[in-house]
Chains A and B, each alone.
Chain A
Amino acid sequence: MADKIFRVNMTDLSTSIEDVPADWAGHGGRGLTSNIVAAEVPPTCHPLGPKNKLVFAPGLLSGTTASNSGRISAGAKSPLTGTIKESNSGGTSAQRLAKIGCKALIIEGQPQDDSWYSISLKPGEVTISKEEELIGKGNFAVVEAAEKRFNGKVGVLSIGQAGEMQMTGANISVKDPDSHVRSLGRGGLGAVMGSKKIKFIALDAEGGKVDIADVEAFKAANKVFTKALVDHPVSQALGTYGSNVLVNIINEAGGLPTKNFSSGQFEGHEQISGETMHDLIVERGGKPKHGCHAGCVIQCSQIYNDLKGKYKTSGMEYESIWAMGADCTVDNLDQIAEMDSIMDDIGIDSIETAVAFGVAMEAGVLDFGDSGEMIRIMTEEIAKGTALGRVIGNGAGSVGRTYGVTRVPVVKNQAIPAYDPRSIKGIGITYATSTQGADHTMGYTIATEILGVGGTADPLSKEGMVELSRGLQIATAAIDSTGMCLFIAFAALDDGACLPALIDMLNARFGISLTAEDVTNLGMSILKTEHAFNKAAGFTNLDDRLPEFFETEPVPPHNAVWDFTGEEIDTFWNF
Chain B
Amino acid sequence: MTLVSKKCEPQPMQAIELIVKTDALPRFTTLLQSGIYMELDQGTSIGELLFALPGFSEKYVKETVQTIFLNGLPADTLQQKLFGKEAVIAISAAMPGLAGAIFRKDGVHASLRTSTAAELSSQDALETPITIRLKLFNMIAMDRGKELLANTCIVTAKSIGAFLNYRPPLYTAILKATLNGERIDTSILQEILSSEDMLKLTIRDK
Contacts and interface: CB of A to CB of B under 8 A. Distances in A.
Q: Do A and B bind each other?
A: yes
Given A233-B66, A248-B33, A249-B100, A426 B111 contact: yes
Interface in B93-126: 93-103, 108-109, 111-115
B112 A440 contact: no
B132 interface: no
Interface string B80-103: 000000000010111111111111
Given A249-B67, A449-B108, A283 B167 contact: yes
A245 B115 contact: no
B95 A234 contact: yes
B73 interface: yes
13 contacts: A233-B66, A234-B100, A253-B103, A254-B72, A300-B96, A424-B99, A427-B112, A440-B98, A444-B98, A445-B97, A459-B111, A490-B101, A558-B114
B20 interface: no
B77 to A, nearest CB: 16
Given A233-B66, A424-B112, A425-B112, A472 B167 contact: no
B111 A234 contact: no
Given A234-B94, A558-B72, A422 B114 contact: yes
Contacts of A275: 30, 33, 137-138, 141
A460 interface: yes
Nearest to A458: B111
Contacts of B112: 424-427, 429, 465, 468-469
Interface string B42-77: 000000000000000000000010110100111000
Contacts of A373: none
Interface of B: 27, 30, 33-34, 64, 66-67, 69, 72-74, 90, 92-103, 108-109, 111-115, 135, 137-139, 141-142, 162, 166-167, 169-170
A300 B95 CA distance: 13
Nearest to B143: A236
Contacts of A498: none
A151 to B, nearest CB: 36
B160 to A, nearest CB: 12
A300 B96 CA distance: 10
A20 interface: no
A444 B97 CA distance: 7
Given A250-B99, A279-B27, A282-B27, A233 B94 contact: yes
A563 to B, nearest CB: 9
Contacts of A430: 98
A318 B138 CA distance: 14
B94 A424 contact: no
A426 B109 contact: yes
Contacts of B97: 243, 246, 318, 440, 444-445
A249 B103 contact: yes
Contacts of A490: 94, 96, 100-101
A560 B115 contact: yes
A16 B98 CA distance: 41
A253 B98 contact: no
What DSSP secondary structure best describes chain A's contact surface? helix
B111, B135, B141, B169 interface centre (most CB from chain A within 10 Å): B111
Interface string A523-535: 0000000000000
Interface string A211-248: 00000000000000000000011101110110101101
Interface of A: 232-234, 236-238, 240-241, 243, 245-246, 248-250, 252-255, 270-271, 273-276, 278-280, 282-283, 300, 318, 419, 422-427, 429-430, 440, 443-445, 448-449, 454, 459-460, 464-465, 468-469, 472, 487, 490, 493, 557-558, 560
B159 to A, nearest CB: 8
Contacts of B108: 448-449, 454, 493
B113 to A, nearest CB: 7
A279 B30 contact: yes
A401 to B, nearest CB: 30
A39 B128 CA distance: 70
A419 B66 contact: no
Contacts of B115: 558, 560
The 5 closest A-B pairs by CB, nearest first: A426-B112, A459-B111, A445-B101, A233-B94, A234-B94
Contact of A236 (B139, B162, B166, B169): B139
Nearest to A234: B94
Contacts of A560: 114-115
A558 B162 CA distance: 26
Contact of A283 (B72, B100, B169): B169
Contact of B96 (A245, A459, A468): A245
Contact of A243 (B67, B94, B96): B96
A430 B102 CA distance: 13
Nearest to B66: A233
